[in-house]
Amino acid sequence: MNVKEVEKKFQAIYQKQPTHAFFAPGRVNLIGEHTDYNGGLVFPCALSFGTYLLISPREDKQTHFHSLNFNFSATVNANAFTNKPTEWIKYPLGVMKEFADRGFNPWGYDLLYYGNIPNGAGLSSSASIEIVTAVMLNEVTRAMFDMVEMIKMSQHAENNYVGMNCGIMDQFAVGIGKANQAIALDCATLEYEYVPLAMKGYKLVITNTNKKRGLTDSKYNERRTECEEAVTAISKEHPIKFLCELNIEEFNHFNHLLPNSTILRRARHVISENQRVIHAIDALKEGKLNKLGQLMNESHKSLKEDYEVTGIELDTLAEESQLQKGVLGSRMTGAGFGGCTVTLVAENEVDNYIKKVSQLYKAKTDLEATFYIANIGNGACKLY
């Protein structure tokens, strides 16, 4: 569904024309999983699909939400901040609270959301909703926040209103993505650079496990707590704020301080993954796609064995993909426990790859995978 088709839906629901339309993409992370909240490096890019938001002002001070994805409607006002909903509107409401807390009135609009990001796939549908809401409110309230400030506000909303203790990567990639570019982002300093995705006959294929991810939020917060335990333990002899301040050699020197083998493995993944991102950025700049693929494979192995966030569905997709003709590398992407893999596949082998992996995955898991050939798009914007 494109923006013109969403306009027709808006007219049918609200009996009027929308005055503005906004868009924010999803994202895929090439490498650097669970490093963002550990002060490390990530290497994401924005996707061409995402979330549309069409709006029109209301005469009263209420805001009406409607989603074409969830067949859900609600009319709310400022009381919603104290009576937190459990439905998807907690994401835009959290961002509205950020604006209200800064003295801007977020109320009095008819809103229609439509997203073509697979829900629960780990491609940042929640960050896309947050950022598109922030860009909309920035326009209609004339708040004049720059994109980085809106990114911070959206992350703060998800941490403090939604209750998901995420890092900043998702919102950052959604907000400042650029077509055909990956973003090398230092999550500790928010310094970043664009790196051209010169694929030279290769495609990025995103594969959705289509596994429901019921435990993702709780397990995500659990992993973050385990990393904080590692920082506390190491800081007794070597003060650090984030695990990613350490390289592998330093980690090996101090890892005797960690309380148990589980915390050691969690920390080892984070620190080794941060090093892999550094090497992956260099590999892409140098056009060494074989090296990038190797690092992707190593990343998945670490996420499986040390961080334990994969599961049979993600492991089947990644490991079977790694064996296919024309594949340079494959790994899970996102928080884990379901969601998607990202695979670097020779362009002339994509069709065969999809056919074979689809069959193998179905045979092993009894689930149907969904495949997307990734097009790398721009970050959030006002359409009109």
Q: Supply the residues annotated as catalytic.
A: 170
3-state secondary structure string across 183-231: EEEECCCCCEEEEECCCCCEEEEEEECCCCCCCHHHHHHHHHHHHHHHH
DSSP string, 4-29: HHHHHHHHHHHSS--SEEEEEEEEEE
Sign (positive/negative) of CA torsion 342, 362, 124, 55? Answer: positive
Place of tokens 């359409």: 383
The interaxial angle of helices 169-176 and 147-157, nearest 10 deg, is 150
Residues 6+ apart with CB under 8 A from 253: none
3 state DSSP class of 250 = helix
Strands (E), 58-159: 63-67, 72-76, 109-115
DSSP string, 94-116: HHHHHHHHTT----SEEEEEEE-
Query: What is the spatial distance between Cα 164 and Cα 151, in angstroms, rounded to a whole number?
Result: 15
Query: What is the spatial distance between Cα 272 and Cα 258, in angstroms, rounded to a whole number?
Result: 16
Residues 6+ apart with CB under 8 A from 88: 67, 70, 72, 129
Query: What is the spatial distance between Cα 118 and Cα 123, in angstroms, rounded to a whole number?
Result: 8
Displacement of CA 228 from its chain's centroid (Å): 21
Instruction: Give helix then strand counts, H and E, for the chain.
Output: 11, 13
CB of 72 closer than 8 Å to CB of 65: yes
